[in-house]
Amino acid sequence: MIEILERSKDNVLGFEVSGKISESDFRDTAAKLDEAIKKYKKISWLFVVKSNKYDSPHIIFEIMGWALKNLSHFDRMAVVGDKIWEELLIEADSYLFGDQYYDISQLEEAWQFVEGKVELMY
Q: pLDDT per residue over 74-107, tens digit each?
A: 998 888 987 655 545 555 455 555 577 888 999 9
Instruction: Using DSSP bridges, classify how beta strands 100-103 and 20-21 pair: parallel, antiparallel or unpaired.
Output: unpaired
The model carries a pTM of: 0.83
Exposed/middle/buried for 117, CB within 10 Å: 0-12, 13-18, 19+? exposed
Segments making up each domain of the chain, as ranges? 2-114
Tens of pLDDT along 22-60? Answer: 889 999 999 999 999 999 999 999 999 887 677 777 887
- pLDDT for 60: 79
> Which CATH topology does 2-114 take?
Transcription Regulator spoIIAA (3.30.750)
CA distance 36 to 11: 6
> Strands, E, within 26-94: which ranges?
43-49, 53-54, 74-81
| 20: β partners | 53
